[in-house]
Every structure is written in structure tokens, then in C-alpha cells.
Structure 1
């Protein structure tokens, strides 16, 4: 009788363990993946659920994956960024010709500062409005940032200081790395208008380039007014997930610029959810915006 009771006990434990492994655990894992998908935290894992309980689920996911065209999502996000940056766009050729006319008149009048600012503005718009390819080189993006900074200096003067530095062995290798067009300038614009404009005294912008074998990390830092801890947490939670429907929200979007969320979404759409933007900040201690990208040279 004792051996029989012991046998039943062992059998019960085995059946309990089997039920856990074959029924409860698969349901729990699938439920966690589905919940993450519903929150927008991840959309890739839903296609690779380790436990598909029946053939209908497999067919459903295969059909859903076929319907989701990532290249179409990239195009939609890219077109939205162009629209936000150029909400009141006039004919670009007319814009270039008008700016060139202003520059010529300024040179004739001997007002070199107006001529230089007009030329910088024409260069900036030419880069922004021209055909937006998926990727440009880091060198091109940095040149656009420097031109944008030059324009801002006409307003801020010596109150604004920009420094670009490299924390990698080969600066030339870093400069040929590719990234989505209009990735850096929107972050710099945010740093100026939300961080440095309200700061008393000179505001410093620092762009640090770091490259490893597989990652290109760009840190854009300012010593401005900073952001409250709770707001930083909310911003990072929003940036962590790919949410195309929210990229118009926020002050930057309302002003017609390219929102940080839009930059983040384009990075994730092109390269995957492990890449993107993360923000570090404290009140009165400035803000660091970290952009993580893969090393892409072709």
C-alpha cells in the first residue's frame, strides 16, 4: 500500500509537471508576447512565438506577416517627416531663386552678413527639400547640422557653442557610415529651443561620435535647463515602442518640425527595434540624447 501511494504521488507530480510544461507555460509565454504586441513594445516577436497551439494560429500569423509590408511603412513615415518639415512649402525652385536674389542684392549693398545668412539658408533648404533617400552619410548629416548651427548663430551669436568630437579610432570610417536623412538636425533643434534658449549665459552643444564593430552611437548633449524626471520616463517609454500614429504629437510636431518620435520611428523601421533614441536628463543639468544605429557602409 505504501509503495502504491508513493507511486500515485510520483505520478501526480509527473502529470502536474507535464501539464505545466505542455499547457500552462506555452499559454503564459504566448500571452506575454501578445500583450507586448498589443502595447506596441514589439511587433517582431509575434511572428516567432515558440508555442503555436494549433494550425489555425500558424496560418493566421503567416497571413498577417504577408499583409504587413515594412517598406510601405517606411515610405509612409518618410513622407510624413517631409510634410512636417515643409508644412508650408512653396515651390523649391522659386525659393532658391528668391534667396539667391536676396543674396545678390545684399552683396551689391555691401551687407555681407545678410548675404552669408541667405546662402546658408538656401543650402539648408536645398538639403531638406531635395529627394529624401533612405540613407545618407554621417558626413552629410554633420554638414547639415553645422550649416543649421551657422544660421542659428545669427540669432544667438556667442550665446551658442557647438562642438563635434570623435571617440573612435578611424574618424574617416565613421564619416562614411550611413543613417536616415534628417536624423541629427531635429535633435539639435530640440536641444536649442527646449534646452538652451531658456538658459542664462552661453549654451553648449556637444555631438560625440562613437563607433564599434557593429554600432554607431551618436550622443547629442546640451547643458540647458534639462527635463523633469517623470517627463523623461514618459518620453523614453514612448520612444521604446514603434508607434507611427503618435509621431505627430508633442510641441515639435505642432510647430511644423520633425518630431523626435518621427526620427526614432524611421530608425526602428529601417534597422529594427533594438535601435533608436534614448534620452537622459535632469532639471538644471542638461540633456543627453543617445542615437544608436547599426554600422552601415553600403
Structure 2
């Protein structure tokens, strides 16, 4: 396993990343113009990285061709102002490799690869899966650890072994296990990004490098301000900003609706690109949208 260096490495994917929604037209077709407009706004408002076709980007219901087209369009819109991280994970190693190669060809800067889901592979198979994907392209790779959705976590000892691969550079951490996270942080140079908006400040304070946020779709500047305040030595200000954001974070991420649904409800209400969600997801109710708007306006 690698050992942590005496000085923290530069964040390989940026610091403030948005897990961007995938905009669709009213009839459910991929809206590339809308994606470019939204990406440009997010970068202008403080995001230095965009994650495409992740959980929030409705990756289970978009085709491989749509995923590649989205990478090309967003890369064209933001140029070198932000890193483009393509979600390419699936439950099949061969398919994941194919999507990784397609994302590289389309212009992605890095890959986000989720633990294979449904089949619940043992840890040696999880490790082999990630190594095969990492060997397939020349792009840096972030491991996406979200056992609540996949049914399988990436155990800390597996993380420690995977950290030896030169292209496995980061983790999107949605495991809700701060003990395990700090174990890996203390023994490797893996760059940890929280995927849970309520942990932005907490993980950053113990050695994380930033966040991959769903809530950033609607308040990118507000979330960026949390880590900027911490970096400036204003820990009280960072704490205040995190706490002030919690009502909106809870409504968007912890009130029973997926973050994709709540993000698109707010974006649509604000006149920003979003569009409908694809089945089996369903749009937020008018009552839920009104509550989200109230929390957004209060923030």
C-alpha cells in the first residue's frame, strides 16, 4: 500500500464538484443545449469539476451513446475551466470497460466507477473489477463507494490495495463510515471526496479534498463557500455556512425523494435546464417543490 506524503497532494479532480443532472427535453430526449447551459453556469458559480452520468445524472436510464454525447457536449462548453469526470460504472466488468474507453474517446478527464451492484461480488472480485477498468484507459479513476445503493462496499483493506494502482487516485465516499475513511486517509494518498452534502465540512476537516455534490446543482456558490472559508482559516464561518445549508440539504437528500428528483424540481422551478426525470423515477409533487423553493429562497 502507498503511504501518505508529508504534504497533501493536489486534488486530482478539483475541489468543488457537482454531480450534474442530465437535462432532458419535455418529451424525454437528451437536451445537450441545456446540458451546456447548465454546465457553464455551474462552472461560473464555483464548480471546478463536473461529474456526468452518476447517480444524480440518471445513469441507469441513459444509453451508452447518450453518455458519450453528454461528455462531448459538456467538454465543449467548459473547455479547460473544469475537469469532466464521466460515470462509467455498471454491474458488468466488460460493459464498464467499454464505457470507460468510450468516455476517454469523448473527452473525459477522469472516470468515476461504482462498485458492481446487484450480484454482490466478494472483495477479491471487487478488487479485480476496479483493476481491470483502471488498466483499460489512460485516465485517472475515482472509486465510488456507495453500499447503500450497490449492496457491496469497498472494504478499507481493499481500498488500501487498490491505492497502489497509479491511475486509481480518488474516492467518492458515500459509505457513512468515518472510521474506515480515516483509516484509508491515514495510510494512502487517495483523494477523498464526500458524496454526502451533510459531510462537506466534516470530511474536509479530517483530510478530504472536496466534495461531489448533488445540491450544488442549485447552490454551487454557497457550497464552495464552505471549503473556501475553511481554507482561509475561518472555521467558525465554514461551520456557520454548513449549518445554514442543512435545511435545503435535508429536503433535497433526506426527505424521501432521490436527489435527482429534487434537483430537477428546483432547476425547473428556477427556469434552469433540467426537464423531466426518466421512469421509474417520478417528478416531485407541487407540495414538495414548494417546500424546496422555500428552503432555497431562505438560504
- TM (normalized to structure 2)? 0.21
More helix by share: 1
Bigger relative contact order (CA 8 A; separation at least 6): 2
Q: TM-score, normalised on structure 1?
A: 0.21
